[in-house]
Structure 1
Amino acid sequence: MKGALSWPFLRLYGLTLLYFSANAILNVVIPLKGESLGATNTTIGIVMGAYLFTTMLFRPWAGLMIQTYGPIPILRTILAVNGLALLLYTFTGLGGFFVARVLQGVCTAFFSMALQLGIIDALPDKDRSQGISMYSLCASMPGIFGPLLAIAIWQAGDWPLFTAAMVAIALLTGGVGYTVQMDRQDTEPAAGRTKQATAIRKSFGQLVKNSHLLKCSVLMLGASLVFGAVTTFIPLYAGHIRGGNAAVFLMLQASTVVAARFVFRKKIPSDGKWHSAFIMTVMLILTAAAQAVSFSAAGGAAFFYIGAVLIGMAQALLYPALTTYLTFVLPQADRNVLIGLFIAMADLGVSLGGIVMGPIADLSSYSDMYSICALLGVGMIFWGYERRRRAAGSG
């Protein structure tokens, strides 16, 4: 095998799978634990949203730190901190969960930026979307088995088993991560670091000034908000659905993500052109998914599970397509920093899915909340079309 499926990249994908395994369990256990402690949807949303909100804040600086100190010391440090965060879940309550989510968010900012930018820089143009898709696929694969394990642990009331799972994941991730070999880059001179730090600060203005980055970021922000609302509240909403099961829903969603990213990894546009019909179709799928989940409160489990498959399909296709497009159209000198900013918008969206939608669920219902997500999807369909018109006009 060669290219995105060569051995060095397969090893990175394996590390990715291990690293994100804990979240597949925690995404189910934390909402259920919070509800059992009497927490509101608002509180649960804040605890869940703290993870990627923190990731968003630290991600633009991650590339600078990695280049300054080298990938190996950074990787070993974050894996140690990540292990500490996983241990916090085993003996604390919601307050400790919040601290652990913040620590995990910091770690994920550095971990994901190091791997994704490494994949982008190492692969030729024609293989970029495939490499990004494979990374995302391995980050999603734990979602197939994680929810089933989480539900089994919760229903059995076996907290020692939860503790054992967290400890095992921390040790395995640390063991594999500590054996990864990367060529250390020379430490950049102080003047160079200052210049790059200034570029990071200026990059925030590019969200408005750069039309490519603006449109892709808004699309990703809106879609990620829907993804975040699903991740945070499906474990609680499933109990309101006739025949609904959160583990089955999340397993179907993750399985669809994995299957779609593998089957369509070569079909995702990787030519630097804006494919309006492709993006609009993906957003239409996401809109239908959110509405199906909303209607399942009245229509039953069939709509619930159809929504899971559709959400997985949209999730599988949108992120690799937008990220790959940006690698072509962003200025080379600022590309890594601006992509980091784009990924931060995806993190913000998922975080807002819990933080913003929690109060809406408290004030209305889960069904109404997902209907609002569907309306947001409709807006994103039109936003994708406008992006195509501007791209065509700019030649």
Structure 2
Amino acid sequence: MGLAMSWPFLRLYMLALLYFSANAILNVIIPLRGESLGASSTTIGLMMGAYMFTTMFFRPWAGHIVHKQGPIKVLRLILVINGFALILYTITGLWGYVAARMLQGVCTAFFSMALQIGIIDALPEKERSQGISFYSLFTYIPGIVGPVLALGLWQTGGMDSFSVLMVSVAIVTCLFGYSVKMEERKEHPVPDNAGHSTRLFHSLAQLVKNPFLCKSSILMLTASIVFGAVTAFVPLYAHQLKHGNAGIYLAIQAAVVVLTRLGLSKKIPSDGKWRSSLMMGTMLLLAMAAGCVSFSITGGATFFYLGAIQMGIAQAVLYPTLTTYLSFVLPPSDRNVLIGLFIAMADLGVSLGGMIMGPVADFTSYSFMYMICGLLSLLMIYVAYDRRKMVKKTI
């Protein structure tokens, strides 16, 4: 058994599972609750997008603050704030949901950066991709049961049960998080705030100047728009389909992500080489997935669930592959901040999937909106191809 599957790392993965379990339920409840209160697709998209948009905004600073204050101290505070956000869902209405989503976004920025950067720093190069893949895998496991549970609660009118569930998740996550230990890393000096701000603005420029980061970020941003549109609107779109069930769709997608990650955990490239064929194939699969979801309004639920399978495979491959690739090719001195910016692009994409695609759905239809998502993914096939054969530079 490799270091990536040792007990200390398993505890971190389990904490990630608990932390993200609430989202698997909220991603179904919030759109349905919003629609029942008369909210438009645009308003629901803004509610759903507020979470990842806030995460994106705070993530570039999260790594620095965690490094300066120590991961355990920050993690424990974040778990308490996240618990308060979950309880807020049980006592507020539509706009209270927006506040809760934003609070969750702040918490997720610090939580995920602390765990992911810690995993990257602690594992040897040959096991980095496994560690990142397992972390991401455990964040998706709740998505297998959560959507079906949420749909069951909604259909039975069990909002009281929903409140009890949110409070329980908040308490259990806090208790488990307080028992987790993380190794403090002291070999890297903590820079002053002014120096950090200067480097941050320099790092923002690298989104354009650094070809490795630029290409990876464009692919991740576009794919995340598609993922975000699915998360935000599938619970509503499924109502329009005969035999369509949002809980089953989201459960299938999450299960495929988990199974694909398990099957490919040792096969994801961990050598710093860019593989055009893999990236082009992944974006093609994503385009086909969005196309199937779009066509299901005519073709039926079979295409709807086929889209879930294809979407899950694309999602399972894309994020850990690009993150591992960047961990090799980015300069070590700025690697953590630049990876933070890359992850922020993924957050921005998920946010835009709700914020931009919501108005598109309002003016056209959900089916047409998903067709637009498919076309965007097709354009990314060209971006994924690289004649220069992007590889890690020799220092």
> For each residue in 1:120-164, what CA deviation from the matched residue of structure 2 results, as whole angstroms up to 9, or x when unmatched?
011111111111000000000000000011001100101110011
Find the aligned partners of 2:267 and 2:283 in 1 and give their Cα distance: 17
Tell me whether 174-183 or 13-22 shows the greater mean CA deviation. Answer: 174-183
Find the aligned partners of 2:391 and 2:22 in 1 and give their Cα distance: 43
Verify the 8 A CA contact 1:67 1:187 in the aligned structure 2.
no
Alpha-carbon offset, residue 230 of structure 1: 0.3
Find the aligned partners of 2:99 and 2:191 in 1 and give their Cα distance: 35
Alpha-carbon offset, residue 184 of structure 1: 3.5
Verify the 8 A CA contact 1:293 1:370 in the aligned structure 2.
yes
Find the aligned partners of 2:173 and 2:127 in 1 and give their Cα distance: 27
Q: Does 1:111 align with 2:99?
A: no
Question: Who is 1:53 aligned against?
Answer: 53
Q: Which amino acid aligns with 1:355?
A: M
Check 1:20–1:191 CA distance in 2 against 1; reply closer, same or farther (3 A cut): closer
Aligned pairs (5 A) from 1:161-176: 161-176=161-176
Find the aligned partners of 1:365 and 1:99 in 2 and give their Cα distance: 28
Aligned pairs (5 A) from 1:89-104: 89-104=89-104
Q: Which amino acid aligns with 1:227?
A: F
Tell me whether 315-324 or 262-271 shows the greater mean CA deviation. Answer: 262-271
For structure 1, which runs of at least 5 residues remain unmatched after alignment? none
Q: Does 1:269 align with 2:269?
A: yes
Check 1:393–1:177 CA distance in 2 against 1; reply closer, same or farther (3 A cut): closer
Verify the 8 A CA contact 2:21 2:142 in the aligned structure 1.
yes
Verify the 8 A CA contact 1:70 1:187 in the aligned structure 2.
no
> For each residue in 1:364-384, what CA deviation from the matched residue of structure 2 results, as whole angstroms up to 9, or x when unmatched?
000000000000010011110
Aligned pairs (5 A) from 1:277-356: 277-356=277-356
Q: Which amino acid aligns with 2:293?
A: V
Verify the 8 A CA contact 1:13 1:138 in the aligned structure 2.
yes
Q: Percent identity, aligned pairs only?
A: 61
Verify the 8 A CA contact 1:88 1:97 in the aligned structure 2.
yes
Question: Who is 1:205 aligned against?
Answer: 205
Question: Who is 1:389 aligned against?
Answer: 388
Check 1:393–1:347 CA distance in 2 against 1; reply closer, same or farther (3 A cut): closer
Check 1:25–1:153 CA distance in 2 against 1; reply closer, same or farther (3 A cut): same
Q: Which amino acid aligns with 1:391?
A: M
Check 1:185–1:120 CA distance in 2 against 1; reply closer, same or farther (3 A cut): closer
Check 1:89–1:393 CA distance in 2 against 1; reply closer, same or farther (3 A cut): closer
Alpha-carbon offset, residue 390 of structure 1: 5.4
Find the aligned partners of 1:178 and 1:165 in 2 and give their Cα distance: 20
Question: Who is 2:6 aligned against?
Answer: 6
Check 1:187–1:273 CA distance in 2 against 1; reply closer, same or farther (3 A cut): closer
Find the aligned partners of 1:124 and 1:190 in 2 and give their Cα distance: 23
Alpha-carbon offset, residue 196 of structure 1: 2.7
Alpha-carbon offset, residue 194 of structure 1: 3.1
Alpha-carbon offset, residue 328 of structure 1: 0.5
Check 1:122–1:188 CA distance in 2 against 1; reply closer, same or farther (3 A cut): closer
Question: Who is 1:87 aligned against?
Answer: 87
TM-score by length of 1: 0.97
Check 1:191–1:176 CA distance in 2 against 1; reply closer, same or farther (3 A cut): closer
Aligned pairs (5 A) from 1:37-186: 37-185=37-185
Alpha-carbon offset, residue 206 of structure 1: 0.4
Find the aligned partners of 1:168 and 1:140 in 2 and give their Cα distance: 20
Find the aligned partners of 1:186 and 1:275 in 2 and give their Cα distance: 35
Alpha-carbon offset, residue 349 of structure 1: 0.2
Alpha-carbon offset, residue 189 of structure 1: 7.2
> For each residue in 1:25-63, what CA deviation from the matched residue of structure 2 results, as whole angstroms up to 9, or x when unmatched?
000000000000010000000000000000000000001
Find the aligned partners of 1:272 and 1:392 in 2 and give their Cα distance: 6
Check 1:392–1:371 CA distance in 2 against 1; reply closer, same or farther (3 A cut): same
Alpha-carbon offset, residue 2 of structure 1: 3.0
Q: Which amino acid aligns with 1:146?
A: G
Find the aligned partners of 2:228 and 2:371 in 1 and give their Cα distance: 14
Check 1:192–1:393 CA distance in 2 against 1; reply closer, same or farther (3 A cut): closer
Q: Which amino acid aligns with 1:298?
A: T
Verify the 8 A CA contact 1:295 1:303 in the aligned structure 2.
yes
Q: Which amino acid aligns with 1:223?
A: A
Q: Which amino acid aligns with 2:272?
A: G
Find the aligned partners of 2:268 and 2:11 in 1 and give their Cα distance: 23
TM-score by length of 2: 0.97
Q: Which amino acid aligns with 2:262?
A: F
Question: Who is 1:221 aligned against?
Answer: 221
Q: Which amino acid aligns with 2:15?
A: L
> For each residue in 1:297-344, what CA deviation from the matched residue of structure 2 results, as whole angstroms up to 9, or x when unmatched?
000000000000000000000000000000010001000000000000
Q: What secondary structure, in the 3-state scheme, does the structure 2 residue paired with 1:20 have?
A: helix
Q: What secondary structure, in the 3-state scheme, does the structure 2 residue paired with 1:269 have?
A: coil
Number of corresponding residues: 394
Alpha-carbon offset, residue 191 of structure 1: 5.5
Verify the 8 A CA contact 1:68 1:193 in the aligned structure 2.
no
Question: Who is 1:369 aligned against?
Answer: 369
Find the aligned partners of 2:39 and 2:191 in 1 and give their Cα distance: 49
Question: Who is 1:17 aligned against?
Answer: 17
Q: What secondary structure, in the 3-state scheme, does the structure 2 residue paired with 1:184 have?
A: coil
Alpha-carbon offset, residue 193 of structure 1: 4.1
Check 1:241–1:288 CA distance in 2 against 1; reply closer, same or farther (3 A cut): same
Q: What secondary structure, in the 3-state scheme, does the structure 1 residue paired with 2:390 have?
A: helix
Q: What secondary structure, in the 3-state scheme, does the structure 2 residue paired with 1:157 have?
A: coil
Q: What secondary structure, in the 3-state scheme, does the structure 2 residue paired with 1:53 have?
A: helix
Check 1:154–1:118 CA distance in 2 against 1; reply closer, same or farther (3 A cut): same
Find the aligned partners of 2:384 and 2:170 in 1 and give their Cα distance: 40
